[in-house]
Amino acid sequence: MINGLLVVVLLGAGVAGYLVFFGSSGNAQTTAARTAAAANRDVSEVVTASGTVQSSFSAAASFGTSGTVTEVNVKVGDVVTKGQQLAKLDPTQAQLQVDIAQGNLDTAALKGTATTAYRQAELALKQAQDALAATTLTAPGDGTITSVTGSVGQKVGGNATSGFVVVTDLKNLVLHANVSESDVSKLKADQAATVTVNAMATQPIQAKVAQVDLTPTTSNNVVQYGVTLTLTDPPAGLRPGQSASVEITISQASNVLAVPAAAVQTVNNQSTVQVLENGAETRKTVEVGVRGDQYVEIKSGLTAGEEVVLPPVTTSTNTNRQPQQGNFPGTGTGNRNGGGFGR
């Protein structure tokens, strides 16, 4: 009888020790309270977007008449100025038409410059002169030759759309980005921005908002508005077509009292924070200023050093500890996997 009782006691002690050693099964939830002190810092509200570097000017130049190319005066990479000759067609036929039109005008003038015949001859001469001028292709603006599609001996028509030569301004580059419909109302001209080109991530470029589109574009039910930004002192090697990200500063405040944005709750335009005082939490109404992604300016309602309560972080701890191979104390030998006991 005594021996049987002793066995029961030992088994009970062993089970209790097992539970203490391994813990109970299930997941334990641990909630850690967090606080942060209100302190002075710089706060900025920004709108982020992605975009593409573009030229402020790019134009495809084509001949305004038909003919055979006799000269190509430029190559890709050449820098040109507006009005500079780029290429030329054979002007023989066009010059002949000018000579004929001039003769007709001279004949009509003998009968008086107020006659219908004279006015018609005058118009014909102007058209012939325009056709002759169209045999010379000139640069539509200042820039760099980025494409030449034609060559000497080629026959061209007067309605080409692709451009015989493309001139692009590679000095005055801009960034075109798209912002969401919820952010576009915050943007206006001359707002400062920082552009980071993906290919030059270590060289941020300062920029300014130049234009905000009035009409949106919609793709896959997403509404966005185009924004054009001028680049200040772009680095060498920057090229049109490169992708970039941009942060546009909407508002900012320097050295102001601020708390983490997560601590501020706003309902019906009234903002409050939870403050920890003498171990107890107290809700205070505050007046906020600039709202950044990380920090919010506090204009009134708090003083520096007050501890605001942040949302708790809940961690899950799995207490199903995996038993390890070995002898369980006080119960003889056995396999701990599954908690079995040896006899």
DSSP state of 8: H
Alpha carbon distance 327, 333 (integer Å): 5
The full length of the chain comes to: 343
Contact (CB, 8 A) for 191 and 208:
yes
Residue 319, token pair as written in the block: 């207490």
User: Residue 68 pairs with which residues in a beta bridge?
Assistant: 155
Q: DSSP per residue over 129-170, as a string? A: HHHHHTTEEE-SSSEEEEEE---TT-EE-TT--S-SEEEE-S
Q: What is the pTM of this model?
A: 0.63
What is the structure's pLDDT at 313?
73
Residue 195, token pair as written in the block: 């552009």
User: In sequence order, what are the residues at sequence separation of 6 or more whose Cβ sits closer than 8 angstroms to the Cβ of residue 318?
Assistant: 27
User: How many CA atoms within 13 Å lie on the side-chain side of 84?
Assistant: 16
Written as tens digits, the pLDDT of the chain (343 aa) is 444 443 433 344 444 444 433 444 455 555 556 899 999 999 999 999 999 999 989 999 999 899 999 999 999 999 999 999 999 999 999 999 999 999 999 999 999 999 999 999 999 999 999 999 999 999 999 999 999 998 999 999 765 556 899 999 998 899 999 999 999 999 999 999 999 999 999 999 999 999 999 999 999 999 999 999 999 888 888 999 999 999 999 999 999 999 999 999 999 999 999 999 888 999 999 999 999 999 999 999 999 999 999 988 766 655 554 544 444 343 333 333 334 434 3
Nearest to 134 by CA among 101, 165, 158: 158
What is the structure's pLDDT at 160?
59
Alpha carbon distance 303, 257 (integer Å): 8
Alpha carbon distance 211, 113 (integer Å): 52
User: In sequence order, what are the residues at sequence separation of 6 or more whose Cβ sits closer than 8 angstroms to the Cβ of residue 55?
Assistant: 143, 168, 169, 170, 172, 173, 174, 240
Contact (CB, 8 A) for 195 and 208:
no
What is the structure's pLDDT at 317?
57
